[in-house]
Amino acid sequence: MELRSRIRELFQKGEIGSLIGYGRGTLPLSARPIFITEGGVDQLIFDITCGVNLAKYLLRKKPIAGQKVGIICKGCDGRAIIQYLTEGQLNREDVYIIGISCPGMIDPNRVREKVRGRVVTNYQMNGEEITLSGDGFQLTLPREDLLSRSCLRCRYPSPPIYDTFIGSPKDRVEIQDEYRSVAEIESLPAAERWNYFQSEFGRCIRCYACRNSCPFCYCDVCFVDQTNPQWFGKGVELTDTIIFHLVRALHTAGRCVDCGSCERACPMGIKLTLLSKRMEREVRERFDYIPGLSVEETPPMAAYREDDPQEFIQ
C-alpha cells in the first residue's frame, strides 16, 4: 500500500516524528483518528470512511523534540490548516502536510437512513455506485445517496498546500449548484422556512458533537459555556438551541471550509451545513472571500473595505 510505505519512509528520513492519520474503526464503515509513531504505520488506512477532520487534533499535538507532526490531509483538512495559519493558530514549520486526494466521504447518518436497522458488514465501490452488503441483504446505491452532502458539492478534493502528496493531486472540481440546498430553502416562504428550521433544530440535544468536531470551534470557552454573563439557556428550549446554532454559524462564517464534520457527527441527523453554507455564500458574494485557499489573505471578519455594500443600512 503506497500510503504506508510512503509514511514509513517519512519516519525513516526523520521528516516527521509523529503522525495524525486514520485507522480502522470497530464498526463496519467506520474509521478513527489515530496518533502514531513509526511502529504504528501498519494501522494506517485511507478510504471513504475517513470523514473526521483531523486538523483539529493539530491544535492539541505539539512537535516533540523538534520533530514535525505529520498529518494526512484531504482537501478540507488542508484548507482548515490554511485557515489556522491565517488565524495564527499554527506554525507552518511544526507541521508536515501529507496531501491525499479525497474520493468523498460517506455520511453515517445517510447510511443509517438507507439501511434502516440492517447491519452493513462490507461495502464495495464501483465507479459511481456503492454496494453495501450484510447478513442477507445487498443494497446498491448511487454514490450521491450515501456521501456527505458537503462532499457532493466539494470543489477542492486535494489540499491547496502540502509537503508531499500521496498519489497525484486532483484538480479543482467545477460544481455548478454548490448552493442548491440553500437555494431550496430560500425558495420557501418565510413562515415555512421557520417551520423547517424549527423541526430540524428541535431535534438538537445540545451534545455539542458538531461544535467539538468542528475544526474552527477551538475557543477555550465557547460563548454558550460562558457564565459571566451566561448569555443563553443551556437546555433544549427551541430558542436557546436555535440561537446556539445561529451564533456558531456566525462565528465560523468566513472560516468554515464545509468539511461536513458537524453534520456527520450529529446523532440526530440535523442538516447543520445549511446555515454555514448560507454564510459561506454571503461571505463570497459580499466580501469576495473563500476560506482556506490562501495563507496571505486576511480572514474577512477581521478585515473591511470602505466600500463594502451597505444596502441594508438606513
How far apart are CB 207 and other proteins at their closest, in Å?
A: 4
300: contact with other proteins by CB under 8 A: yes
88: contact with other proteins by CB under 8 A: no
Q: Which residues contact 105 (CB under 8 A, 6 or more apart)?
A: 48, 49, 50, 51, 74, 147, 148, 151, 260, 264
Q: Report d(CA 269, CA 255) in Å as an integer.
A: 23
Which is nearest to 29 in space by CA: 103, 100, 120, 127? 120
Q: Could you give the 3-state DSSP secondary structure of residue 164?
A: strand
Q: Under rule CB under 8 A, which residues in 194-213 are in contact with other proteins? A: 194-197, 203, 205-209, 211-213
**Residue that has been written with the C-alpha cell 448560507 in this structure:** 278
For other proteins, the closer CB: 176 or 227: 227
175: contact with other proteins by CB under 8 A: no
Q: Under rule CB under 8 A, which residues in 4-43 are in contact with other proteins? A: 25-27, 30-35
Render 120-155 in DSSP notation, one character per residue: EEEEEEETTEEEEEETTEEEEEEGGGTB-HHHHT-S
Q: In this structure, are residues 96 and 68 in contact, taking their beta carbons and an 8 Å threshold?
A: yes
Q: Under rule CB under 8 A, which residues in 42-71 are in contact with other proteins? A: 52, 57, 60
Q: Report d(CA 301, CA 283) in Å as an integer.
A: 9
Pick from 115, 141, 161, 268: which binds other proteins (CB under 8 A)? 268
Which of 37-45, 79-87, 163-171, 277-285 is the region at the interface with other proteins (rule: CB under 8 A)? 277-285
Pick from 225, 288, 294, 298: which binds other proteins (CB under 8 A)? 225
First to last CA, the chain: 62
Which is nearest to 201 in space by CA: 230, 243, 260, 232? 243
Q: Under rule CB under 8 A, which residues in 123-162 are in contact with other proteins? A: none
Which of 8-16, 64-72, 150-158, 187-195 is the region at the interface with other proteins (rule: CB under 8 A)? 187-195
For other proteins, the closer CB: 128 or 311: 311
How far apart are CB 191 and other proteins at their closest, in Å?
A: 6
For other proteins, the closer CB: 119 or 175: 119
